[in-house]
Amino acid sequence: MRVGQGFDVHRFSDDPGRPLVLGGVVFEGERGLDGHSDADAVAHAVADALLGAAGLGDLGSWFPDDDPATAGADSMVLLGAVVAAVRAEGWSVANVDCTVVCEAPRIGPRRDELQACLSDVVGAPVTVKGKRAEALGALGRREGIACLAVGLLVDPGAAGP
């Protein structure tokens, strides 16, 4: 077994036309996040957790934020590529758990959608929790959204403990 952690944070965009996408789910009417891709902080944190567990570097080295090819990219597609790379190394994803930290939007009402979307791409259970920043710091001032993730990989060919 191998465990990995992921973290990501994106600031809110000043562009009113930019959609907010978290875990592949679009939050209509909410401020979007700034970033080179679609700025899906949840997809990015999950991808980094899996890359870390597999010892495959980080998302920025796989998809540099100055690469025109990934400008505006759907981060769930990038996450799918990461999952494929992890599997190609012989690993199977056991599960991923995420915490999204923000004052808004509320994650709880959309939790099932995020979990379904992420679990579909990862091919294993992905759980999502929402946590407010209690008005502390940049996240508490509603300047952006952060996500933490932890992922567990197992070697399907290895003997159990």
Q: Which is nearer to Mg ion, 31 or 44 (CB)?
A: 44
Instruction: Spell out a b/e string for 43-80, using b for 16 or more CB atoms within 10 Å of the CB, else e.
Output: bbbbbbbbbbbbebeebeebbeeeeeebeebebbebbb
Residue 3 corresponds to which tokens in the numbers above?
Answer: 């465990």
Provide, rounded to whole angstroms, the least separation between the CB of residue 92 and Mg ion.
25
Provide, rounded to whole angstroms, the least separation between the CB of residue 149 and Mg ion.
12
Scanning 6-14, 66-74, 88-96, 120-128 for contacts with Mg ion by CB under 5 A, the matching segment is: 6-14
Determine contact, residues 145/41, Cβ cutoff 8 Å. yes
Q: Judged by CB under 5 A, does residue 8 bind Mg ion?
A: yes
> Which residue has its beta carbon closest to Mg ion?
44
Please give the single-letter amino acid code of residue 146. Answer: A
Judging by DSSP bridges, how do beta strands 126-131 and 2-11 pair with one another?
unpaired
Residue from 4, 12, 21, 44 binding Mg ion (CB under 5 A): 44
Q: Which is nearer to Mg ion, 44 or 110 (CB)?
A: 44
Provide, rounded to whole angstroms, the least separation between the CB of residue 73 and Mg ion.
11
Scanning 18-26, 43-51, 88-96, 137-145 for contacts with Mg ion by CB under 5 A, the matching segment is: 43-51
Provide, rounded to whole angstroms, the least separation between the CB of residue 63 and Mg ion.
10
Q: Is the dihedral of CA 111, 97, 129, 46 positive or negative?
A: negative
* Rounded Cα gap, residues 81 and 58, in angstroms: 13
Provide, rounded to whole angstroms, the least separation between the CB of residue 59 and Mg ion.
7
The residues of the shown chain that bind Mg ion, judged by CB under 5 A, are 8, 44
